[in-house]
Amino acid sequence: MRKTKVTFDSQKLHASTELMRALAHPLRLKILEFIDTHGTINVNKIYNTLRIEQSITSQHLKILRLTGVVNAQKDGKYMHYNINYQIVERAQKAVARFLDAEKLSKA
């Protein structure tokens, strides 16, 4: 049996796990779908339409913002959010590659 040395870049691994954690939450996915439907949207519209408390919405948006999934822009006293599709696409491709590798290893 061949031994393979396993090495990880700890910073990349940490960033990847935070991104996957951000995308794996059902409420955050619901928020992302809502933003995707509307393009750029005011945070008030998000929590009022989805009927989520303002503080909970802000907490979830903060996680999405810190992982780069959404961009935030302040306009006066309002925050507007839009999706960073480049980050989302990279995550989708990484998951697809992982799942393809899993299929190959089981074949």
> What six digits make up the tokens of 48?
């009022």
How do the residues of the chain divide into helix, strand and coil, expressed in percent and rounded to 5?
65, 15, 20
CATH number among 3.40.50.2300, 1.20.1250.20, 1.10.275.10, 1.10.10.10, domain 20-106: 1.10.10.10
Q: Which residues pair with 71 in a beta bridge?
A: 82
Per-residue pLDDT of the chain (107 residues; tens, 9 = 90+): 567 777 888 898 888 899 999 999 999 999 999 999 999 999 999 999 999 999 999 999 999 999 999 999 999 999 999 999 999 999 999 888 888 877 767 76
With tokens 């955050």, the residue in question is 28
> How many CB atoms are located within 10 Å of the residue 47 CB?
19
pTM: 0.84
The domains of the chain are located at: 20-106
CA distances from 69 to 28, 65, 77, 85, 95 (A): 10, 6, 22, 7, 15
Amino acid (1-letter code) at residue 2: R
